[in-house]
Amino acid sequence: MRNKSFIAVVLIVLLPVAGLGWLGVRLLGSERQALEHRTRTLVEAQLLIIDDSIKAYFDAQRSQLLRDIKGLPRDTTALRTYAQSKRLVRQVFVMDARGERLHPPVNAALTEAEQRFLVRSADIWRSRDILYQGAQPPAQEPDLRKTDAMRSDGWYVWHWATETDLIFWQRDAERLIGIELEPARVKADIIGLLPATASNEEHLGPARIQLLDERGALAYQWGELNGGSDATARLLAQRPLSHPLGSWKLAYYAPAANGSAVSGKLGLASAVSALALAIAGLAWYLHREHTRTARLAMQRVNFVNQVSHELKIPLTNIRMYAELLAQQLDGSEERPRRYLDIIVAESQRLSRLILNVLNFGRMQREAVRLHRQAGVIDAAVASALEAFRPALEGKGVQISFTRGAPANAEFDRDALEQILNNLFSNVEKYGSSGARLDVITEQSADHTVIRVRDYGAGIPLRERERVFEAFFRLNSKLSDGVTGTGIGLTIARELARLHGGELRLLESESGAHFEVTLRTAGARA
Amino acid sequence: MAMHDSRRRRGGIGAWAYLFSTLLALSFATTANADQGTQQVNLNVALGSPVVLAGAKQTAVVKVALTGAQIDSERQRTPVNVAIVLDRSGSMAGAKIEHAKQAAAIAIDRLDANDVAAIVTYDDVVKVIMPATRVADKSAFKRAIARIQPGGSTALFAGVAKGAKEVEKFLQRERVNRVILLSDGLANVGPSSPDELGQLGASLAKDGISVTTIGLGLGYNEDLMARLAGMSDGSHAFVEHPQELARIFDAEFGDVLSVVAQEVRINIRCADGIKPVRVLGREADIAGQNVSMSMNQLYGAQEKFVLLEVEVPPGRPGARLTVAEVDVAYFNTTTKQSDRVAGQVALSYSDSQQSVTQATDKKVMADAVEQVANSISKEAIKLKDAGKLMEARKKLEEGASYLEQNAQQYQVPRLRGLSGQFKKDSAELDDERQWNRQRKSMVKRQYSTEKQQKF
């Protein structure tokens, strides 16, 4: 009973909460997906803009270098001065149409820087074709996708030691001029054109963009992410740079849990938990009410138990002395004898009530033990019926007893008597208007059935099971003027079940029809 | 060393011959540009040994010294365009960052509305807390400085790049364009090799931007910092204790505010028969007979010099030989015009060891000795880095006795003091706990010697 109510409470709370939570999570999930998609699109657009600015930088350098080359004198000193004075230029070289070196000069002393350049650019001098291959722009730039023979300028990228080295070359029919850029300065320029980290992150929000070089090493980063620590960063998007820095890439990191997702999840969680709290509160209230009722009932039972105990002894004395007194009266004293009969009958009724109460209390606390003894069911039924006969006949009830259990059987006489007492007492209290009581017994090898039927007001269909609940009383109309504890049928059913049987209310056209089944093993005909 | 040893083996010579040849040599060591009124730079080309022994091939040292004119008043001062780049990595927390902020604020106080300054900080990321602005509202700068808080890692390269970017916004040849970098740690975000930083420095120098690097504490990479400063012709300082920062900033700004010439291009054309061997201390391009190099700026009343070692062919006694012609082009920051100054130097041959000895320019020789000793000190660091403690120590002791001998020969007490320093360096070399500090101190001294830095 207790367990059941607890499980019910848990289910009442958990099911709606779980259902709502699931719905919420799904909704939030799809919302987050949409948001994620939107964010990703925005982020990708942002990376594209950044890439464009870097591309624009290289385009500007290209124009500048083309202008430089146009005005560049061919003599060694001028070329050297150019290389030494241009911020972005590390070295200049010139080839003739056959790929032979014109500058750095072949027949003159070389500076140390020129010698170093020749070492690192040895591949180019072996085959200048690599310049054109390295300068292959990505396919998505159709205007640049000319054949090698057609292109007159381009970028060549190669990786020397830990740096990305860039060469811009331009050629005509007679010569090819190459300009090697200063890698560190290119990096610094790119860092210069990329945003710094603002103190108040308004445009970027909590995010970090990283520029990674061809080895995947961090070249530059900006954006404040979780106050600088990026332990919880989550890669949202990345994008390779355009030619010529195609081996570099941009990576966009956002906080592990996106801000809006966090608030969404938080909102959902708080809504669900508020709901859970409300339902739990309700459930707790109901549970408390329920246990309070049960506790009150229990207290009532305990109280009645105690009172009944106290009543038992004086009642026994009253009965005993009343019976003694009856024996001493002679036949002439009709009136006192009738009074005494009433006293005895009423005290018997009182003992039954007390016994009921005590039994009920015992059953609540502990298992009741049966004391089976050999006996005849019919005899026990008759004896119980006999005790009620005066009261029933006093209310005009005609009793019919059909005996069908004459065999010797093992049963608890007290238990059977109590079951029957309760049934008969109900007939007396509620069914006397039918003016008829049928008691039928039947017996099989190991079962005995006793049917008790009255023809009174009966019990409505929907109350059929509830009459067996403790402290249940039918509506006041029926119970008007009738006293009782409301535990009789409960005890009767418990006892019947204890006895391996059942107490059922059978369907009937009028009145109440109870059927008691008892397992009466060892019955012999 | 070779040139020096060869000279010491020569014998005595007559006083007359000495006097004659000295006068001769002096007549060739001229400062040719006539217009002294607006002359910002004084060129002095001299030989360590204006008289050499006849009949043998030998080496000689040419000193090309440039001295900026003293600026008369604050009014004449060249306006500056400076970016102060401060490390605010986690390790700067505490006294370091406080003193750095204080030093930066004091530096801002020395500037005025003609100057442009920017404040950049970096940790994992770079923040331009004060973009390049005229220093009209000093309190705005100070407020920005006051807000600096220590953070995470050290994105040094990016810090310098952003600092340079700010300087580029007001890049003018009429201004002293400079990035002042303060760092106490290893660059651990972005490019971090001394080579790359050196390249960046060299490239910035082409724009006329110098980077001064101030290493604070014992955690920074002195090679990287010295390289960055060296290639861009800035200054380099080692500040062990944060409370010295204010003084160093003061010295640095003292220099910056005294610049008289920029874009200094030095061309030394060696005469036929003279073979340029190497330039002591400084970076230079040697191509055939031509030696060229640049200095980003010259400070008022400070001498910067280039020492070129040349091979001199054998000659007859009494013969004179032009060794080199020097041409210096620079931008005069006072007149805001490009100026040139030229000079040449010649030597004469003599039979007399005495005249050779007496003609010797002790100052030039001392400078050369100092540069040679400096390269010995650098080699010692390399040996120590390679784990060769004994060799490193031997190297330093060699350097010490070399300095000692020359101190005696040229009667230059400065060299004796330097010898003592070498001995001290050698003695302390095996103290591993002190090595980090000592190495930084040595790199700083080497740097100052190479660049004739005054602080």
Q: B199, A185: Cβ pair inside 8 Å? A: yes
ipTM of the complex: 0.87
- CA-based nearest distance A129→chain B, Å: 28
Q: B152, A219: Cβ pair inside 8 Å? A: no
Q: Which of B191, B199, B294 sits opposite A182 (nearest CB)?
A: B199
Q: Which residues of A touch B (CB under 8 A)?
A: 80, 84-88, 90, 108-114, 162-163, 182-185, 187-189, 191-193, 196-199, 208, 218-224, 228-230
Q: Is B335 exposed, middle or buried (0-12, 13-18, 19+ CB in 10 A)?
A: exposed
Distance CA(A326)–CA(A324), nearest Å, equals 5
Residues of chain A found within 8 Å of residue B147, distances taken between Cβ atoms? 199
Domain that holds residue B269: 2-72+260-359
Cα distances (angstroms) measured from residue A334 to each of A322, A326, A339, A347, B121: 15, 11, 9, 20, 123
Query: Based on the domain organization, do B243 and B109 belong to the same domain?
Result: yes
Q: Any long-range contacts for A85-89 (C-beta under 8 Å, 24+ apart)?
A: A85/B206, A86/B206, A87/A182, A87/A185, A87/B203, A87/B204, A87/B206, A87/B207, A88/A61, A88/A181, A88/A182, A88/A185, A88/A186, A88/A189, A88/B203, A89/A179, A89/A180, A89/A181, A89/A182
Predicted confidence at residue B75, as pLDDT, reads 64
A312 vs B229, more confident: B229
B 254-273 → A contacts, CB under 8 A: none
**B157 part of contact set with chain A, CB < 8 Å:** yes
Predicted confidence at residue A484, as pLDDT, reads 63
Q: Which of A114, A191, A199 sits opposite B127 (nearest CB)?
A: A199
- Sequence length of chain A is 525
By mean pLDDT, which of A112-121, A365-374, B114-123, B171-180 is the weakest? A365-374
For the segment B224-232, the average pLDDT, to the nearest whole number, is: 95
Which chain B residue lies closest to A190 (C-alpha atoms)? B161
- Other C-beta atoms closer than 10 Å to the C-beta of A179 total 23
Above pLDDT 90, what percent of chain B?
A: 83
Q: Which of A87, A90, A191 sits opposite B207 (nearest CB)?
A: A87
Predicted confidence at residue A2, as pLDDT, reads 58
Query: Based on the domain organization, do B135 and B265 belong to the same domain?
Result: no
Residue A332: pLDDT band (50, 70, 90) is confident
Predicted confidence at residue B13, as pLDDT, reads 45
- Is B66 within a domain? yes
- Is B325 within a domain? yes
Q: Is the pLDDT of residue A489 over 90?
A: no
Q: A221, B285: Cβ pair inside 8 Å? A: no
Q: Structural domain tally of chain B?
A: 3
Q: Look up the CATH number of the domain holding residue B63.
A: 2.60.40.740
Q: B165, A87: Cβ pair inside 8 Å? A: no
Q: Which of B124, B148, B168, B290 is the best mutation test for A, with the most CBs of A within 10 A?
A: B124
By mean pLDDT, which of A207-211, A359-363, B413-417 is the weakest? A359-363
Residues of chain B found within 8 Å of residue A88, distances taken between Cβ atoms? 203
Query: Based on the domain organization, do B22 and B162 belong to the same domain?
Result: no
Distance CA(B307)–CA(A487), nearest Å, equals 122
Q: A108, B288: Cβ pair inside 8 Å? A: yes
Q: A187, B127: Cβ pair inside 8 Å? A: no
Query: Based on the domain organization, do B19 and B53 belong to the same domain?
Result: yes
Q: B124, A221: Cβ pair inside 8 Å? A: yes
Which chain A residue lies closest to B150 (C-alpha atoms)? A228
Which residue, B359, B374, B404, sits at the end of a domain?
Answer: B359
Predicted confidence at residue B251, as pLDDT, reads 94
Strand B80-87 with B116-122, pairing? parallel
Q: Look up the CATH number of the domain holding residue B114.
A: 3.40.50.410
A31-45, A494-508, B398-412 — which one is most confidently predicted on average? Answer: B398-412
- Is B174 within a domain? yes
Q: B206, A80: Cβ pair inside 8 Å? A: no
A·B CB contacts under 8 A: 113
Residues of chain B found within 8 Å of residue A219, distances taken between Cβ atoms? 190-191
Predicted confidence at residue B12, as pLDDT, reads 44
| B272-315 pLDDT per residue, tens | 999 999 999 998 989 889 999 999 999 999 999 999 999 999 99
For the segment A458-474, the average pLDDT, to the nearest whole number, is: 76
- Is B41 within a domain? yes
Which tokens sit at A178?
């190459």
For the segment A330-344, the average pLDDT, to the nearest whole number, is: 80
Predicted confidence at residue B61, as pLDDT, reads 96
Query: Based on the domain organization, do B236 and B287 belong to the same domain?
Result: no
Predicted confidence at residue A206, as pLDDT, reads 78
- Is B82 within a domain? no
Of B226, B299, B298, B302, the closest CA to residue B265 belongs to B298
Mean pLDDT of chain A: 82
Distance CA(B154)–CA(B127), nearest Å, equals 12
**B164 part of contact set with chain A, CB < 8 Å:** yes
Query: Based on the domain organization, do B101 and B241 belong to the same domain?
Result: yes
Residues of chain B found within 8 Å of residue A192, distances taken between Cβ atoms? 161-162, 164-165, 168
- CA-based nearest distance B70→chain A, Å: 28
Distance CA(B280)–CA(B61), nearest Å, equals 9
Domains of chain A as residue ranges with CATH: 2-57+194-256 (no CATH), 72-188 (3.30.450), 367-519 (3.30.565.10)
Query: Based on the domain organization, do B93 and B67 belong to the same domain?
Result: no
- Is B34 within a domain? yes
- CA-based nearest distance B455→chain A, Å: 29
Q: B161, A113: Cβ pair inside 8 Å? A: no
**B327 part of contact set with chain A, CB < 8 Å:** no
Which chain A residue lies closest to B163 (C-alpha atoms)? A192
- Is B31 within a domain? yes
Predicted confidence at residue A48, as pLDDT, reads 92
Q: B191, A219: Cβ pair inside 8 Å? A: yes
Query: Based on the domain organization, do B168 and B96 belong to the same domain?
Result: yes
Residue B36: pLDDT band (50, 70, 90) is very low
Name A257's Cβ contacts closer than 8 Å, sequence gap at least 6.
A232, A265
Residue A483: pLDDT band (50, 70, 90) is low
- Is B303 within a domain? yes
Of B394, B156, B64, B59, the closest CA to residue A220 belongs to B156
- Other C-beta atoms closer than 10 Å to the C-beta of B390 total 10
For the segment B16-33, the average pLDDT, to the nearest whole number, is: 46
For the segment A176-201, the average pLDDT, to the nearest whole number, is: 89
Query: Based on the domain organization, do B351 and B383 belong to the same domain?
Result: no
Above pLDDT 70, what percent of chain A?
A: 86
Q: Is the pLDDT of residue A419 over 50?
A: yes
A223 vs A484, more confident: A223
Query: Based on the domain organization, do B446 and B399 belong to the same domain?
Result: yes
Q: B125, A84: Cβ pair inside 8 Å? A: no
Residue B38: pLDDT band (50, 70, 90) is low
Q: Is the pLDDT of residue A476 over 80?
A: no
Which residue, B191, B225, B255, sits at the end of a domain?
Answer: B255
Q: Which of A189, A197, A219 sits opposite B125 (nearest CB)?
A: A197
| B42-76 pLDDT per residue, tens | 999 999 999 999 999 999 999 999 999 987 766 67
Q: B123, A228: Cβ pair inside 8 Å? A: yes
Q: A111, B286: Cβ pair inside 8 Å? A: yes
Residue type, B191: P
Mean pLDDT of chain B: 90
- CA-based nearest distance A91→chain B, Å: 12
Residue A151: pLDDT band (50, 70, 90) is confident
Which residue, B255, B281, B298, sits at the end of a domain?
Answer: B255
Query: Based on the domain organization, do B166 and B239 belong to the same domain?
Result: yes
Predicted confidence at residue A525, as pLDDT, reads 45
For the segment A395-412, the average pLDDT, to the nearest whole number, is: 89
Q: Is the pLDDT of residue A523 over 70?
A: no
3-state helix/strand/coil string of A361-383:
HHHHHCCCCCCCEEEEHHHHHHH
Name B58's Cβ contacts closer than 8 Å, sequence gap at least 6.
B3, B6, B7, B52, B311, B312
Residues of chain A found within 8 Å of residue B127, distances taken between Cβ atoms? 196-199
Residues of chain A found within 8 Å of residue B197, distances taken between Cβ atoms? 184
Cα distances (angstroms) measured from residue A434 to each of A420, A480, A481: 19, 17, 17
Of B6, B57, B19, B25, the closest CA to residue B352 belongs to B19
Residue B1: pLDDT band (50, 70, 90) is very low
Q: Which of A107, A181, A185, A204 is the best mutation test for B, with the most CBs of B within 10 A?
A: A185
- CA-based nearest distance A248→chain B, Å: 13
| A241-292 pLDDT per residue, tens | 998 899 899 999 887 654 555 566 777 778 878 888 888 888 888 888 888 8
Q: B190, A219: Cβ pair inside 8 Å? A: yes
Which chain A residue lies closest to B199 (C-alpha atoms)? A184
Q: Is the pLDDT of residue A475 over 70?
A: no
For the segment A342-368, the average pLDDT, to the nearest whole number, is: 76
For the segment B230-259, the average pLDDT, to the nearest whole number, is: 94
Residue A204: pLDDT band (50, 70, 90) is low
Query: Based on the domain organization, do B264 and B247 belong to the same domain?
Result: no
Residues of chain A found within 8 Å of residue B190, distances taken between Cβ atoms? 191, 218-221
Integer-rounded Cα radius of gyration of chain B = 23
Q: Are B254 and B292 in contact (CB under 8 A)?
A: no
Residues of chain A found within 8 Å of residue B292, distances taken between Cβ atoms? 84
Q: Is the pLDDT of residue B10 over 70?
A: no
